[in-house]
Amino acid sequence: MRLGVLFSGGKDSLFACWKAIQQEEVACLITIISRNPESYMFHTPNIRLAALQAEAAGLPLVEVETDGEKETELLDLKRALLRAREEFGIEGVVTGAIQSVYQASRVQRVCRDLDLWCFNPLWNVDQEAYMEELIERGFRVIIAGVFACPFDASWLGREIDRRTLGDLRAIARKYQTTLTGEGGEFETFVIDAPFFAQRIAIEEASRAYRNYNGVLRIERAGLVAK
Amino acid sequence: MILVLDLCYRDGSLSRDEFVAPIERLLQSAGVPFTTRHYTAIGTPEVEAADAVVLCGTALKDTRFAGHPGRFSWLPVFERPVLGISSGMRTLAAAFGAGTEPCCEIGMTDVRVLADDPLFAERETFSAYELHESAVQVPDRFIPLAASDRCVQAIRHRSLPLYGLLFHPEVRNEWVVERFLRLVEDAR
């Protein structure tokens, strides 16, 4: 089955993509670029770098922009999936949804409207086992945004290795946050994955942070040999 | 031992993690021994060895399981506890001669309990996650246990512990599966 992966550049969509590659044929990645930082569905820092990640993976990218208004962004999602179907003949869509019924239901409805299969290989996943597997399988993931207490500016750019995962565990226990950032506590950016032919090297980045809200803006990045 | 049946379009499919693995995790955390098989890979020995069966759901577009009714001809004579979830409910009802009718529900829906049963005891309403194209007709030997505004959400055989749920209990209603496991324990 030819599939398109909804792609934000964060760990969940990359991991879902890796799962899909093992079972089916991933024909393209699909990115919705939201101009609204409050977007319910699609906002994420460094979304423009999805093109570099797609190049690293050797997969074509379908990019569609949205104003990010609550209702019209679904039309933009539909537009993106239609383009992916026209250009790459996709028969189904893969998402990295873990627990969000809101997001998963909306994508399911759009897929139904377009007669596409919908796959959520991380749905209801054991978050502890998932984070362990990410590291074990060779995904290199950095924290690209923090949006909750107690994440301070020092978290921006930190790689999720075993030591960081230990710290995330301690925070999850103490502050009732999710281990995966599923609750919107933090966002991630993937610099290497098992299916990348090259990895991403961040050459220049800036940090904007205030009161437990911050993003790592990757200003310049390139591909280097693994 | 509980037999978990994967009804997805292929053994080891991309849907497995979404519809089968969450059920396996619930059984694991309850400390209940189980074995998982794809519906195309079971025979009499697996069915005979099972104390109970859970028929898992599938993707919205996945109806391949419905094309193989012969694979489930053992259900009407199984007589031990069965929990059919979404496509699994459809499979259970089909084994007892009932069909489906168009009724698409996606997302959270309010469910009302209609009849006394240990599975829903002391619950009058709850919100449930739905992912189905069709509603399931209630087979002759079954009673409806719960319903949404649009269709029947849960059924039970009149005299046997055979249950069908149209909603997905593994999403936000794990208590339903836990209660089913208690029924399995009681039936041993």
The ipTM estimated for the assembled molecules is 0.95
Q: Which residue has the higher pLDDT, A47 or B90?
A: B90
- Kindly state whether A118 is in contact with chain B, defined as any CB-CB distance less than 8 angstroms: yes
Are residue A150 and residue A221 in the same domain, yes or no? yes
- Kindly state whether B29 is in contact with chain A, defined as any CB-CB distance less than 8 angstroms: no
Find the closest chain A residue to B170 by CA distance: A124
User: Which of A75, A91, A119 delimits the end of a domain?
Assistant: A119
User: Each residue of B11-45: pLDDT tens digit?
Assistant: 999 999 999 999 999 999 999 999 999 999 999 99
Residue A3: pLDDT band with limits 50, 70, 90: very high
Between chain A and chain B, how many beta carbons pairs sit less than 8 Å apart?
A: 59
Are A96 and A6 contacting, i.e. CB atoms less than 8 angstroms apart?
A: yes
Which range among A24-28, A35-39, A135-139, B162-166 shows the weakest confidence by mean pLDDT? A35-39
From B12's Cα to the closest Cα of chain A, the distance in A is 8
* pLDDT at residue B155 is higher than 60: yes
- CATH entry 3.40.50.880 includes domain B2-187: yes
**A121 with B170: Cβ contact below 8 A:** no
Q: What is the pLDDT of residue A69?
A: 73
Using DSSP's 3-state secondary structure scheme, residue B103 falls into: strand
Find the closest chain A residue to B21 by CA distance: A125
Residue A33: pLDDT band with limits 50, 70, 90: confident
Are residue A115 and residue A142 in the same domain, yes or no? no
Residue A73: pLDDT band with limits 50, 70, 90: confident
pLDDT, averaged across chain A: 93
**A105 with B106: Cβ contact below 8 A:** yes
B70 contacts: CB under 8 Å, gap ≥ 6: none
Query: Which of A123, A130, A182 is most worth mutating to test chain B (most B CB atoms within 10 A of its CB)?
Result: A123
Chain B residues 107-166 within an 8 A CB cutoff of chain A: 107-108, 129, 131, 133
Chain A hits for B170, Cβ within 8 Å? 124
Taking each helix axis from N to C end, the angle separating B174-187 and B21-29, rounded to the nearest 10 degrees, works out to 60
The arithmetic mean of pLDDT across residues A94-116, rounded, is 95
Chain A residues 125-154 within an 8 A CB cutoff of chain B: 125-126
- Alpha-carbon distance of A209 to A157, in angstroms, equals 12
The first and second tokens of residue A143, run together, are 């924290």
The arithmetic mean of pLDDT across residues A22-38, rounded, is 88
Are residue A152 and residue A198 in the same domain, yes or no? yes
**Entry pTM:** 0.95
Is residue A33 domain-resident? yes
Are residue A98 and residue A35 in the same domain, yes or no? yes
Q: What is the pLDDT of residue A72?
A: 79
Are residue A52 and residue A84 in the same domain, yes or no? yes
Count CB atoms within 10 A of the CB of residue B188: 8
Are residue A17 and residue A107 in the same domain, yes or no? yes
Residue A35: pLDDT band with limits 50, 70, 90: confident
Are residue A200 and residue A102 in the same domain, yes or no? no
User: Each residue of B71-93: pLDDT tens digit?
Assistant: 999 999 999 999 999 999 999 99
- Residue A158's domain spans which residues? 138-225
Taking each helix axis from N to C end, the angle separating A127-136 and A162-175, rounded to the nearest 10 degrees, works out to 170
Q: What is the pLDDT of residue A155?
A: 97
The first and second tokens of residue A46, run together, are 């460094």
Residue A40: pLDDT band with limits 50, 70, 90: low
**B60 with A111: Cβ contact below 8 A:** yes
Residue B100: pLDDT band with limits 50, 70, 90: very high
Are residue A173 and residue A85 in the same domain, yes or no? no
Chain B hits for A112, Cβ within 8 Å? 60-61, 104, 106, 133
**B22 with A105: Cβ contact below 8 A:** no
Residue B18: which of A24, A111, A119 has the nearest Cβ?
Answer: A119
The residue type of B176 is V
Find the closest chain B residue to A120 by CA distance: B18
CATH number, residue A160: 3.90.1490.10
Residue A210: pLDDT band with limits 50, 70, 90: very high
Chain A hits for B127, Cβ within 8 Å? none
CATH number, residue A8: 3.40.50.620
From A202's Cα to the closest Cα of chain B, the distance in A is 33
Q: Give the total number of structural domains in chain A.
A: 2
The first and second tokens of residue B138, run together, are 């209630």
Is residue A8 domain-resident? yes
Is residue A193 domain-resident? yes
Q: What is the pLDDT of residue A180?
A: 95
- Kindly state whether B60 is in contact with chain A, defined as any CB-CB distance less than 8 angstroms: yes
Residue B61: which of A94, A105, A117 has the nearest Cβ?
Answer: A117
Q: What is the pLDDT of residue A67?
A: 79
- The structural domains of chain B, with segments of one domain joined by +, span 2-187
Is residue A126 domain-resident? no
Are residue A19 and residue A114 in the same domain, yes or no? yes
Are residue A108 and residue A61 in the same domain, yes or no? yes
**B21 with A115: Cβ contact below 8 A:** no
User: Which of A119, A146, A180 delimits the end of a domain?
Assistant: A119
Are residue A10 and residue A81 in the same domain, yes or no? yes
Q: What is the pLDDT of residue A140?
A: 98
Residue A119 burial by Cβ neighbours in a 10 Å radius (0-12, 13-18, 19+):
buried
pLDDT, averaged across chain B: 97
Q: What is the pLDDT of residue B187?
A: 85
Chain A hits for B12, Cβ within 8 Å? 23
The arithmetic mean of pLDDT across residues A53-75, rounded, is 88
- Kindly state whether B102 is in contact with chain A, defined as any CB-CB distance less than 8 angstroms: no
Are A95 and A4 contacting, i.e. CB atoms less than 8 angstroms apart?
A: no
Are residue A158 and residue A97 in the same domain, yes or no? no
Q: What is the pLDDT of residue A47?
A: 82
Residue B116: pLDDT band with limits 50, 70, 90: very high
- Kindly state whether A122 is in contact with chain B, defined as any CB-CB distance less than 8 angstroms: yes
